[in-house]
Homo-oligomer: A and B are copies of this chain.
Amino acid sequence: MRKRKKVLIGGALVFVLFAGTYAQQQQKEELPPPPPLTKQEMERAKEIYFDRCAGCHGALRKGATGPALTPDKTRKLGTETLKTFITYGTPGGMPDWGRQGILTPEEVDLMARYIQHDPPPPPELPLGEMKKSWKVYVPPEKRPQKPEHNRNWQNFMAVILRDIGKVAIIDGDTKELVSTVDTGYAVHIARYSASGRYLYTIGRDGKVVLIDLWMKKPDKVAEVKTCYDGRSLDTSKYKGPKGDFLDKLAIIGCYWPPSFVIVDGQTLEPLKIVATSAYTYDTNEFLREARVASMVASHYDPEWVVNVKEAGQIWLVDYSNIHAPKITMIDAERFLHDGGWDASKRYFLVAANFRDTISVVDTKEKKLVKNIKVGTRPHPGRGANIDHPKYGPLWCTGHLGDNTIRCIGTDPVKHPQYAWKVVVKMEMPGEGGGNLFIKTHPKSPHLWADRALNNDPKLQRSLFVFDKNTFQIKKVIEIPPEFQGRAVHLEYNKNGDEVWVAVWSKKNEPEKQAILVYDDKTLTLKKAITGNWVATPTGHFNVYNTMKDIY
């Protein structure tokens, strides 16, 4: 037995640390057992959880934007308390699912019981499994060699019709409906290939659809499902000494499995999966569920910017050899969400909304420039770039948590005194934040902002137009009363003289919904795009501005 004593020198240290974990486990076992749940209830609860809860609390329920919902916590609270939270929400941001009527009392009860059980392990999705969902409807060699229509397709708008699982393609010149395409469940964003020819959509369920805008009637040419829960997508936009990657690759950012997936840009064939599970940059907590928030493609390097939300890391992913991707893992701030390029497209600015911060990375030097405190819960979308006579280039963000829009100087060379500081603070009238999107265009004198998530129904339907020079409000526009819902998402046309806005209703009543087109010169309504096909529009992406990152 002499030998055993020796080998336990190290074991003893391990024992001390394991013992704590074991004690926790013992304690957990002393909690009341979870309330019963039938197999049918379990299955139904899983669906609701994925749909309503996983986004904030995580598929593993370890918490993210929302707190952890592990059984050691939920079983201490008990069914009745949990029902109260689910019904009435919390001031911290938990929605009042019950009071809103989105969950029935019976569903609230079900979910209160479900979350006291161990979370079922969410499934993996290896490339082999992805390939089972991969379909090429029209192979690349059978696609048009040039556009089969005479439309100005670089001014097309892809409009997400979220709750009916479609995308409408609208001719931005004529405002005619060109095509509607089945894209499936809850499309989150649309992006274009470097040439603009290909439109990609990504659904909340991780389904990617590829649409060829050169077809007489643009339609889907391929699809694949690369995640169970996905939010972001971009394409390869580099051509230069390191290779020609135009229209060659796409990247999909997944919430679950926490990963990014690289696919062939022409066929969507899944090529590579990389886990984003990581340690938080600050507390070094290992997160299996460190998820991919926004992503953008660099124009001058074969590289994507991938924001690993909960880890607080901005990854620059060099895709020039996808079997040896080169990833620069830049410590930034938590929880990374959405962001965009500065005017020079060298710096990427992204919201870290856990800490009311904008993190700036230099994609040339591949390092963090600065974490900049802004307002409460910044939500820039891709932000808005202003070239100001005094401050020089500025990049601006709105906020979910307050009524301000703040602009950061982005030119350390010619305007160093303003660089990487908040130098402008614009205020929108009315209480509270709720801004989801701001937008401008280099040719426009204006910056537009919505207020879609404000509690005030009037503000939800208002658009705030600022003068880019004076930063003063020029006009507050309320959308016409005949259209019901919130005014959300702003997008310029290719020429930069129109602003498109969705009227976002959760109800499927086409006659009360529209995409509104405002004249950016006169700030008046130019056209309400309506039709039987209009249902729950939530966003619209101009081909040219999106492919060139003009905002």
Contact surface of A with B, Cβ cutoff 8 Å: 1, 3, 6-15, 17-22, 25, 39, 42-43, 46-48, 50-51, 102, 104, 120-124, 126-128, 163-165, 184-186, 203-205, 207, 225, 228, 257, 259, 273-275, 277-279, 283-286, 288, 321, 323-331, 366-368, 506
Measured in the bound complex, the distance between the Cα atoms of B324 and A257 in whole Å is 24
Judging by beta carbons under 8 Å apart, are A22 and B120 in contact?
A: yes
Interface of chain A: mostly helix, strand, loop or mixed: mixed
- Say yes or no: A323-B368 contact (C-beta < 8 A), given A274-B279, A274-B329, A283-B126: yes
| Residue pair B14, A43 in contact (C-beta under 8 Å) | no
How many copies make up the complex?
2
Pick from B18, B120, B327: contact of A46, CB under 8 Å: B18
CA distance A120 to B25 in the complex (A): 8
User: Among the interface residues A18, A184, A228, A506, which one has the most CB atoms of the partner chain B within 10 A?
Assistant: A18
A285: which B residues are within 8 A, CB to CB? 124, 126
With A279-B275, A285-B126 as contacts: A10 and B50 at CB distance below 8 Å: yes
Residue from B122, B164, B275, B283 in contact with A277 in the complex, judged by beta carbons closer than 8 Å: B275
Closest residue of chain B to A361 (Cβ to Cβ) is B324
Given contacts A13-B205, A46-B15, contact A163 B6 (CB under 8 A): yes
Bound CA–CA A225/B8 (angstroms): 16
Contact residue among B14, B22, B46, B277 (Cβ-Cβ distance under 8 Å from A50): B14
Which 8 pairs show the lowest CB-CB distances between chains A and B? A10-B205, A126-B284, A11-B47, A10-B185, A324-B330, A9-B185, A326-B328, A17-B123
Q: List 20 additional A-B contacts (Cβ < 8 Å) besides A14-B50, A124-B284, A325-B329.
A: A7-B185, A8-B51, A9-B186, A10-B184, A14-B205, A15-B43, A18-B120, A18-B122, A19-B43, A22-B39, A124-B286, A126-B283, A126-B284, A275-B277, A275-B279, A277-B277, A321-B367, A323-B330, A324-B329, A324-B331
| Residues of chain B lying within 8 A (CB to CB) of residue A225 | 13
Q: What are 10 contact pairs spanning A and B, CB under 8 A?
A: A7-B163, A11-B47, A17-B228, A18-B43, A274-B278, A323-B330, A324-B329, A324-B366, A324-B368, A325-B328
* Inter-subunit contact A284/B13 (CB<8 Å): no
In the assembly, what is the distance between CA of A366 and CA of B318, in Å?
12
Q: Which residues of B contact A39 (CB under 8 A)?
A: 22
Q: Are B14 and A47 in contact (CB under 8 A)?
A: yes
Nearest CB of chain B from residue A331's CB, rounded to whole Å? 5
**With contacts A126-B283, A205-B13 known, is A331 near B326, CB below 8 A?**
no
A9 to B324, CA, bound (A): 36
